[in-house]
Amino acid sequence: MEFNSTILSNVEMSPNYWRIRLTAPAAFAAATPGQFVMVRVGGSIDPLLRRPFAVYDVGSTTKADGTTTVHFEMLYKVVGKGTTLLSRLHGGDSVDILGPLGQGFVFGDDDEEKLLVGGGIGLAPLYLLARELVKRNSPVRLFAGGRSRNDLLCLDEFERLGVDCHTATEDGSHGATGFVTVALNQHLDALAGKKATLYACGPDPMLRAVAKIAADRALPCQVSLEAAMACGVGACLGCVTPGKNHSAHTPDYRCVCAEGPVFESSELKWGASA
Ligand SMILES: Cc1cc2nc3c(=O)[nH]c(=O)nc-3n(C[C@H](O)[C@H](O)[C@H](O)COP(=O)(O)OP(=O)(O)OC[C@H]3O[C@@H](n4cnc5c(N)ncnc54)[C@H](O)[C@@H]3O)c2cc1C
Ligand code: FES
């Protein structure tokens, strides 16, 4: 659905990372973990294209008169023109939104451990997932990584859900020093072959490493991809990524916006561009 949304708040939560809360129609409450929205960040034609952002959280407020309003939140990192413009908007301003879009995470067997792996802004789609998994009584752990502590967002909110959080930073300013995949591997060693499902979102090298860990240990793994997108609804094919059978002679592409952004890692080709 396309709708005009009013910004309720838009605050910088860590250097370069922002959190925005927006109004939504009642039907938006059905958004599922891993889905995203396309946001038109400016009223003018520049930038022309909407920008995709994960749905971080969805909620509703009931007023004294009994009316209920739905809102949702996004976390975003300022990286270019669109996100800079977004960061300049204030409460009361309005933006045009398309969504919720795409295929989100699949919850799997409730009893097995769910291991969520987020790198930097890749934590954004994992909060709603963690909340849903906790609701289903699944044991949930978060492995959060970043360059420094500034990249580790909203950990207290994950902890409030009862999620065990393991952190790693490249500069050692929070948690273990190094890549978050080291902590993930250590935990998987300790599980000693017990079943677990991995869910990951973050930079491509991290996703590739998590997909390899899952393949080596024969574990199911869902990854949420952040391809560049133009339409967000499967019309332009600007967001395709190679599928597992892709080769120079046999093209096999997956449309990230319509078939994803969440895929089983084993369905993708983990070459240079996946
Ligand atoms: C399904 C999906 C969900 C996303 N969720 C979030 C989210 O929750 N929070 C968030 O901050 N970002 C998210 N992104 C990425 C976000 O869409 C881009 O950062 C944003 O479009 C950049 O817009 P811009 O105009 O500021 O940057 P541009 O001016 O378009 O680009 C600036 C720089 O950022 C790089 N860039 C642009 N888009 C991407 C991308 N998708 N991945 C990596 N690098 C990119 C460009 O190559 C360029 O170097 C998501 C992307 C997808 C596809
Ligand atoms: S962004 Fe147009 S098809 Fe995916």
51 lines ligand 1 (CB under 6 A): yes
Partnered with residue 21 across adjacent β-strands are: 9, 73
Ligand 2 atom index nearest CA of 257: 4
User: How many structural domains are present in the chain?
Assistant: 2
- C-alpha 128/C-alpha 135 separation (Å) is 11
- Looking at the predicted structure, is the pLDDT value of residue 97 above 70? yes
- Pair (228, 146) in one structural domain: yes
CATH of the domain at 128: 3.40.50.80
- Pair (157, 75) in one structural domain: no
**Quick one: DSSP state of residue 273?**
T
Ligand 1 atom index nearest CA of 17: 11
13 lines ligand 1 (CB under 6 A): no
User: Which residue's CA lies nearest to atom 53 of ligand 1?
Assistant: 226
- Pair (53, 92) in one structural domain: yes
Q: What is the pLDDT of residues 12-67, one digit of tens each?
A: 999 999 999 999 999 999 999 999 999 998 766 667 788 999 999 999 988 888 88
Backbone φ and ψ for 70, nearest 5 degrees, come out as -100, 140
Mean pLDDT, residues 228-255 taken together: 93
Distance between Cα 31 and ligand 1 center (Å) = 21
In a domain, 274, yes or no: no
Give the count of alpha carbons within 13 A of 139, CB side only. 8
Q: Maximum Cα–Cα distance for the chain, whole Å? A: 63
* Amino acid symbol at 253: Y
Distance between Cα 94 and ligand 1 center (Å) = 21
Distance between Cα 21 and ligand 2 center (Å) = 25
Domain that holds residue 18: 2-101
Q: How confident is the model at residue 273 (pLDDT cuts 50, 70, 90)?
A: very low
- Pair (33, 130) in one structural domain: no
Distance between Cα 258 and ligand 2 center (Å) = 7
39 lines ligand 1 (CB under 6 A): no
- Pair (238, 124) in one structural domain: yes
- Pair (36, 81) in one structural domain: yes
Ligand 1 atom index nearest CA of 125: 8
pLDDT at position 45: 62
In a domain, 19, yes or no: yes
CATH of the domain at 89: 2.40.30.10
Q: What is the pLDDT of residues 195-206, one digit of tens each?
A: 999 999 999 999
Q: What is the pLDDT of residues 160-203, one digit of tens each?
A: 999 999 999 999 999 999 999 999 999 999 998 789 999 999 99
- Pair (263, 132) in one structural domain: yes
When the pLDDT of each residue in the chain is averaged and rounded to a whole number, the result is 94
- The ligand placed nearest to the CA atom of residue 54 is 1
